[in-house]
Structure 1
Amino acid sequence: MPSYPAAYRATEGSALDVDRAFYGRIGTENAGRHLVEQFVVPIRSGRAWTVPAGHVFRIVTIEGPQVADLNIWNRHNPRERFWASRTRQLQQAHVSTFDRLWSTLPYLRPLATITHDTLADYGVDEHGGRVHDLLGTRCDPYVNRMLTGKDFHHHCHSNLTRAVAPYGLTEFDVHDVLNVFQVTGLNDEDKYFMKACPAQKGDFLEFFAEIDLLCALSTCPGGDLSVPLWGPDARDPLEVCRPLGVEIHGLDPGLLEGWSPPEVAAYRGNHGMRLGRPDWEQDRPA
């Protein structure tokens, strides 16, 4: 059966028509970059960090397969943050090189663009699974308590909440994530499934910061997802949990020639409202 065309399609020169030559150079010309910061996120924990506009950051499987949950905000205005569902519509349900992570309304602009994905060739597996998931969201202690009757404080939602607390943010700021290195899909019953992480030691996903960013990452307590987390076969997956590395790189000015941070959305209307008049009178003549 032929596939049905996507609802949102790029046209030449539109916001969805990414400059592949530019981002391809960013992802491949390693001589034009320098390491600014490097750190490790331990198992079942979270870490937040900032990335200046025009820099890149990598998430690296330093010891082997491990999935991670990523949140992103505008460093100077956390009301502008990553919008997973719109990114899923504008890009793909599973993202890779040249896909962009879009921000919430009323800003609606790319926060980051993926410049390198060592798992780009994973494609679609025999179960319809794909990697770097936007279908699902973070695990959290509320659902866990509902399903198991037990409290656990190291779910991704909790890890991200602790990670951003030093930046003045709370769990109300934690939002739907990009599940990095995670393989997911929809089964024949249209239900969400997760599979074991295919990443090997040294794999990475790299992003170009379009604006100044605050990022937070959780090393999922499910580890590489090779162990069932809920249901009759569930057990503690501690043995398959591994740390992740994060690298931040600065770029030589020559690599950034012609680039500038994206502007916020051009729409400046008031949504059809006229100040001083009740909603039901909006379309009546003045």
Structure 2
Amino acid sequence: MNTMTSIQPGERIRLPARRGVAIRLERGQILTLINTHGQQVVDTWAFNPDDLREAMSMEHSRPFWLKLNPRQGDSLVTNQRRKILTLTEDTTPGVHDTLVAACDPTRYRQLGVVGHHDSCNENLFLALDALGLAVTETPSPLNLFMNVPVYQDGRIEFAAPVSEAGQYVRLKAEMDVIVVLSACPQDITAVNGMSPQDVHYSIS
């Protein structure tokens, strides 16, 4: 796992497919997340390092935007309704998801998987543990690059991402923050185009 002590400004870091990482950012720093090969979802969380109970909240962010997904220039807020990250740049078509919970062992059992399967929920806990931290609950993540169409009749669908190789998003820290990224290991549905891939990130 990478921490701020091992990352140089602008250094491009690989996040392996199916794995997670926790990153400390200072207020004002920019995290650039690159969909290196295209079609890879990255579950994203953000926590107040002084109180991990304060976390980026999709439930609180949606009414802040009055829409389902953030667009360039939108800030994400915590469960205390404070700005924590701002989406400052997005070179993708802007298709992300704020509705779907992180995949977890129960989800994979329901999908028919026998035995262990990597999950974003597990990646969150392992990434925080690498920093000596722990949370008791898994907040709903910002699912960057995830394509979940919402239809007029209320149905949703798990569709392949529309992002292309090399497209990226930039997130600005609005406070000191711990960001956790999980290169989603979902390979049962179309979420990652059925083939999880590495992504890269950098900090500036």
- TM-score surpassing 0.5? yes
1:185, distance to aligned residue in structure 2 (A) = 2.4
Q: Which runs of 4+ in 1 moved over 6 A?
A: none
Work out whether residues 94 and 132 of structure 1, in 8 Å CA contact, stay in contact via their aligned partners in 2.
yes
Matched, 1:38 2:2: no
Work out whether residues 65 and 224 of structure 1, in 8 Å CA contact, stay in contact via their aligned partners in 2.
no
1:199, distance to aligned residue in structure 2 (A) = 1.3
Q: Pairwise mapping of residues 100-119 of structure 1 onto structure 2 (< 5 A)?
A: 100-105=75-80, 108-119=81-92
Q: Distance in 1 between matches of 2:36 and 2:69?
A: 22
CA RMSD of aligned residues (A): 2.4
Q: Distance in 2 between matches of 1:171 and 1:221?
A: 21
DSSP 3-state at the match of 2:96: strand
Work out whether residues 104 and 122 of structure 2, in 8 Å CA contact, stay in contact via their aligned partners in 1.
yes
Paired residue for 1:196?
160
> What TM-score results when the alignment is normalised by the length of structure 1?
0.63
Q: Find the structure with the greater CA-based Rg.
A: 1
DSSP 3-state at the match of 1:143: helix
Corresponding letter in the other structure for 2:129: A
Work out whether residues 196 and 224 of structure 1, in 8 Å CA contact, stay in contact via their aligned partners in 2.
no
Work out whether residues 45 and 139 of structure 2, in 8 Å CA contact, stay in contact via their aligned partners in 1.
yes
Instruction: Rate the CA distance shift 1:223–1:49 in 2: closer, same or farther, 3 A.
Output: farther
Instruction: Rate the CA distance shift 1:103–1:227 in 2: closer, same or farther, 3 A.
Output: closer
Matched, 1:89 2:68: no
> What TM-score results when the alignment is normalised by the length of structure 2?
0.86
Which of 10, 14, 37 matches 1:63?
37
Q: Pairwise mapping of residues 202-281 of structure 1 onto structure 2 (< 5 A)?
A: 202-222=166-186, 226=190, 237=194, 240-249=195-204
Q: Distance in 2 between matches of 1:43 and 1:98?
A: 28
Paired residue for 1:52?
26
Relative contact order higher in (CA < 8 Å, ≥ 6 apart): 2
Work out whether residues 67 and 224 of structure 1, in 8 Å CA contact, stay in contact via their aligned partners in 2.
no
Corresponding letter in the other structure for 1:114: L
Paired residue for 1:15?
none
Matched, 1:98 2:73: yes
- Percent of residue pairs identical: 27
Q: Unmatched 5+ residue regions in structure 2?
A: 1-7
Q: Distance in 2 between matches of 1:219 and 1:243?
A: 7
Instruction: Rate the CA distance shift 1:118–1:224 in 2: closer, same or farther, 3 A.
Output: farther
Paired residue for 1:167?
131
Q: Distance in 1 between matches of 2:99 and 2:105?
A: 19
Q: Distance in 2 between matches of 1:149 and 1:62?
A: 28
DSSP 3-state at the match of 1:206: strand
Paired residue for 2:5?
none
Q: Distance in 2 between matches of 1:151 and 1:210?
A: 40
